[in-house]
Amino acid sequence: MMSEDEDLSGFLEGFGLTKDEQLAVIDELNAYRSIPGTNLGKYMNRVISTLAFEERPAFIKGLFLGVAIRKAADALSDPDLTEEERRIDKEIEQLVLSRKSQSLAPNG
C-alpha cells in the first residue's frame, strides 16, 4: 500500500472498519475499474447497480463524506502562501475594494 492508502486505512480503522473489510471493498471496486473502456460514469453505474434500493442512502452518505474528507485533506496539504503570494493577494484585495468604492461614488 502507498503511504496515503495506509493513512486512510488507519483512519478508517479508527472508526471500527477492519483491514479485511477495507480490502474486500477495494478488491470489488478494482474489479469494476479494470474493465476496458471504463470511465467515471460507467464505474459509478456499475457500483450503483449492485446496490439494493435501501442501500442507496448509505452509499450517497459515503460519497458526501468522502468528498468532505478529501476537501479537508487537501486543505491540510495546501502549502502556506509565500510572501510574494500574500503581497499579490493584498494588492488584488485593495484593487477590488477601490473599484467597489468608485462604483458606489455618485457621478459628478
Q: Where residue 54 falls among pLDDT bands split at 50, 70, 90?
A: very high
Write the DSSP string, the chain.
Answer: --HHHHHHHHHHHTTT--HHHHHHHHHHHHHHHTSTT--HHHHHHHHHHTS-GGGHHHHHHHHHHHHHHHHHHHHHHSPPPPHHHHHHHHHHHHHHHHHHHHHHSPP-
**Model confidence pLDDT, tens digit, residues 4-51:** 666 888 888 999 999 999 999 999 889 888 889 888 889 889 999 999
**Model confidence pLDDT, tens digit, residues 71-92:** 887 777 777 888 999 999 999 9
